[in-house]
């Protein structure tokens, strides 16, 4: 019995120990669960706050990018990219969710939205002579005129791929054509233009003989167009030798056209649909060949006419006064063998740039007395085959010169080289630029090259190329057009139109009060987009994007 009583007492103590252990275990378990729940709540709270911040950051930088895209959509292509010119600044910083974000452009340039990026605009043929872009005031005519080696001349409304008309001249075209308003008397209202004469005279330097109708050694042929009809008047201005430089229209005498020939004769002829009659003729000193010009400035009731001549190792810039073509000014030039001239503006004082076959470039000033003086010279060390190009660029006046070594040189007016691009393939034509400083040239490699100068750098970069066309022999003509920016050029195979109708842009936005570099740990959004396409300038194609958050 005593043994049973002791056993019963031991079992009670065992049960008391078991309950205590259970309570301790349950307490520990509850503590673990409570700790885990508190940790989870704290973690979730922290994660939620991080996510809220990230969403806020994303929304702010996204809004900044969207504002920039809206600005691109509503900025004409010819006005350039925001930030490239003062007239089109970068969008203002965006403030949202208590944060401020600003946009900067990593790259931006005009381009072609669709393939093919160019169109042939003439019959197959070789185009080795420069075309001509002419906006004829008061007529609504914005023209591109070009001829091929077989003697066919074409006229286009600038930006169109179909010629308004073409004419086979039955001879060789020897120099660049030009177009001018026909200043002959007209009825009170022509073509609904309220008395403005919309008729156009086209002047084309040609070789004589054959079936051309030119009975002299060489001529400048006039084609008279009663807009919108094709030319139906043809007459011939006789020359003593081939005319290889572009004729020029009179200013004080709008019915007169001036041209010079390789025999050293400067001509002034009537240039209307009623007459091609000579009015004055003069021989240059020593019979030096006229290789560039004429360029014409108005001076009250007379025209001031300047030409560039070449004779052996000497060259000159000569100034004549019309009527009578009296020699008024002579400026000796520093290099032999001039090949082209470009003018800063159409009124004095004005500067002219002249290129020379051996690589020289000269800038002369024509003052208000119509006297010429030499301002600057430079030897680039590369052969030059064509005229320079004078750009009224946003950063100030610039002169583009293309070298046979494949290099495009961009010069300040003092002829310091401020930018260059070594493409490698010879360039035998004049480069061109749009209104915001984008540069274009065609080369022997058969491509049209599009260049930009990054801020603060002297080396230009190629942002696009279009082609192949065959060897480019007719210089680019760049100007605004209905689709945006249009570029014509001619090659060994045809004449071509490249219609730039869109932009390629890479943008970045980050939290900042001013356009940032967006480097380091700053949250930022990067986007690569195409903005615009033919017929739809507001189209946006996102090509890639990424968001970075530290």
pLDDT at position 242, please? 98
| 432 part of a folded domain | yes
pLDDT in tens, 177-233: 999 998 875 444 444 444 456 789 999 999 998 889 999 999 999 999 988 888 988
pLDDT at position 102, please? 87
Is the same domain home to 209 and 186?
yes
User: What is the rounded CA–CA span in Å between residue 64 and residue 103?
Assistant: 6
Stretch 273-299: mean pLDDT: 96
Q: Which of 288, 311, 332 is the last residue of a domain?
A: 332
Res. 176: pLDDT tops 70: yes
Is the same domain home to 194 and 55?
no
Among the listed ranges 122-126, 195-199, 389-393, 472-476, which one has the minimum average pLDDT value? 195-199
Query: Dihedrals φ, ψ of 250, to 5°?
Result: -70, 155
Stretch 475-496: mean pLDDT: 96
- Domain with residue 315: its CATH number is 2.40.128.630
Per-residue tokens: 282: 């003069």
Is the same domain home to 312 and 342?
no
Stretch 98-118: mean pLDDT: 88
Stretch 499-509: mean pLDDT: 92
Is the same domain home to 208 and 75?
no
**Higher pLDDT pick, 372 / 523:** 372
Per-residue tokens: 14: 């065992």
Res. 29: pLDDT tops 70: no
pLDDT at position 188, please? 43
**C-alpha closest to that of 271 among 244, 294, 299, 288:** 294
Res. 408: pLDDT tops 80: yes
What is the separation, in whole angstroms, between the first and last Cα of the chain? 80
Is the same domain home to 392 and 276?
no
Is the same domain home to 465 and 533?
no
Give the Cβ contact number of residue 274 at 10 Å. Answer: 13
Among the listed ranges 10-14, 75-79, 336-340, 458-462, which one has the minimum average pLDDT value? 10-14
User: Is 462 within 8 Å of 475 (Cβ atoms)?
Assistant: no
pLDDT in tens, 316-355: 999 999 999 999 999 999 999 999 999 999 899 999 999 9
| Cα atoms in the Cβ-side hemisphere of radius 13 Å centred on 461 | 9
Per-residue tokens: 471: 């060897």
**Higher pLDDT pick, 74 / 203:** 203
Percentage of the chain beyond pLDDT 90 is 61
pLDDT at position 194, please? 43
Domain that holds residue 382: 114-131+334-499
Res. 312: pLDDT tops 90: yes
- Domain with residue 483: its CATH number is 2.130.10.10
Stretch 462-490: mean pLDDT: 95
| Cα atoms in the Cβ-side hemisphere of radius 13 Å centred on 20 | 6
| 315 part of a folded domain | yes
Is the same domain home to 355 and 328?
no
pLDDT at position 423, please? 87
Q: Which of 269, 298, 332 is the last residue of a domain?
A: 332
Spell out the residues 6+ positions from residue 185 whose beta carbon is closer than 8 angstroms to its own.
none
User: What is the rounded CA–CA span in Å between residue 391 and residue 434?
Assistant: 8
| 57 part of a folded domain | yes
Domain count, the chain: 3
| 77 part of a folded domain | yes
Is the same domain home to 287 and 342?
no
Res. 5: pLDDT tops 60: no
Res. 84: pLDDT tops 80: no
Q: Which of 332, 364, 385 is the last residue of a domain?
A: 332
Is the same domain home to 179 and 327?
yes
Q: Give the torsion through C-alpha atoms of 515, 519, 525, 528, to 10 deg.
A: 80
User: What is the rounded CA–CA span in Å between residue 137 and residue 159?
Assistant: 18
Is the same domain home to 324 and 458?
no
Among the listed ranges 4-8, 27-31, 327-331, which one has the minimum average pLDDT value? 4-8
pLDDT at position 31, please? 60
Res. 52: pLDDT tops 80: no
pLDDT in tens, 127-168: 999 999 999 887 789 999 999 999 999 999 999 999 999 999
Whole-prediction pTM: 0.87
Stretch 263-281: mean pLDDT: 94
Among the listed ranges 51-55, 267-271, 510-514, which one has the minimum average pLDDT value? 51-55
Res. 491: pLDDT tops 80: yes
| 289 part of a folded domain | yes
* Residues facing 451 on adjacent strands: 439, 462
| 423 part of a folded domain | yes
pLDDT at position 266, please? 98
Is the same domain home to 40 and 94?
yes
pLDDT at position 45, please? 46
DSSP one-letter string for 128-194: -S--EEEEETTTTEEEEEEE-TTSEEEEEETT-SS-SEEEE-SS-B-S--EEEE--S---S-STTST
Among the listed ranges 226-230, 292-296, 498-502, 516-520, which one has the minimum average pLDDT value? 516-520
| 191 part of a folded domain | yes
Is the same domain home to 375 and 318?
no
| 383 part of a folded domain | yes
């Amino acid at each position: 019995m005593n043994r049973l009583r002791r056993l019963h007492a031991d079992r009670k103590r065992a049960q008391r120990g078991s309950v205590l252990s259970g309570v301790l275990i349950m307490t520990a378990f509850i503590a673990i669960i409570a700790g885990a729940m508190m940790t989870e709540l704290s973690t979730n709270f922290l994660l939620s706050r991080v996510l809220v911040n990230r969403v806020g950051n994303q929304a702010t930088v996204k809004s900044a990018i969207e504002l920039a895209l809206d600005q691109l959509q509503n900025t004409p292509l010819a006005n350039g990219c925001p930030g490239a010119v003062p007239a089109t600044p970068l969008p203002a910083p965006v403030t949202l969710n208590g944060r401020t974000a600003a946009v900067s452009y990593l790259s931006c340039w005009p381009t072609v939205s669709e393939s093919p990026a160019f169109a042939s605009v003439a019959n197959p043929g070789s185009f080795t002579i420069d075309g001509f872009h002419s906006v004829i005031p008061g007529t609504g005519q914005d023209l591109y005129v070009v001829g091929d080696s077989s003697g066919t001349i074409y006229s286009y409304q600038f930006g169109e791929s179909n010629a308004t008309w073409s004419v086979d001249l039955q001879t060789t075209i020897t120099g660049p054509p030009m177009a001018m308003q026909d200043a002959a008397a007209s009825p009170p209202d022509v073509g609904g233009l309220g008395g403005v004469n919309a008729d156009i005279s086209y002047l084309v330097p040609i070789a004589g003989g054959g079936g051309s109708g030119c009975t002299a050694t060489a001529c400048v042929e006039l084609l008279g167009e009663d807009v919108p009809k094709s030319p139906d008047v043809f007459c011939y201005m006789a020359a003593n030798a081939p005319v290889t430089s572009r004729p020029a229209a009179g200013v004080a005498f709008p019915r007169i056209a001036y041209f010079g020939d390789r025999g050293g004769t400067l001509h002034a002829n009537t240039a209307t649909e009623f007459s091609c009659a000579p009015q004055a003729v003069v021989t240059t000193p020593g019979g030096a060949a006229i290789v560039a010009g004429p360029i014409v400035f108005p001076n009250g009731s007379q025209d001031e006419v300047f030409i560039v001549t070449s004779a052996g190792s000497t060259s000159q810039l000569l100034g004549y006064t019309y009527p009578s073509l009296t020699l008024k000014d002579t400026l000796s030039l520093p290099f032999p063998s001039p090949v082209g001239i470009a003018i800063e503006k159409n009124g004095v004082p004005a500067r002219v740039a002249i290129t020379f076959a051996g690589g020289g470039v000269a800038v002369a000033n024509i003052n208000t007395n119509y006297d010429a003086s030499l301002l600057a010279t430079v030897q680039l060390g590369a052969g030059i085959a064509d005229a320079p190009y004078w750009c009224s660029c946003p950063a100030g006046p610039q002169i583009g010169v293309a070298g046979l070594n494949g290099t495009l040189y961009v010069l300040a007016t003092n002829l310091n080289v401020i930018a260059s691009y070594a493409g490698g393939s010879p360039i035998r034509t004049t480069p061109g630029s749009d209104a915001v400083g984008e540069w274009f040239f065609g080369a022997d490699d058969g491509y049209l090259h599009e260049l930009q100068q990054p801020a603060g750098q002297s080396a230009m970069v190629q942002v696009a190329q279009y082609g192949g066309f065959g060897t480019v022999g007719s210089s680019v003509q760049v100007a605004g057009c209905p689709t945006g920016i249009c570029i014509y050029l001619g090659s060994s195979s045809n004449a071509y139109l490249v219609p730039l109708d869109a932009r390629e842009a890479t943008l970045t936005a980050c939290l900042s009060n001013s356009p940032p570099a967006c480097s380091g740990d700053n949250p930022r959004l990067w986007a690569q987009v195409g903005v615009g396409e033919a017929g739809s300038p507001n189209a946006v194609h996102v090509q890639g994007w990424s968001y970075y958050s530290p």
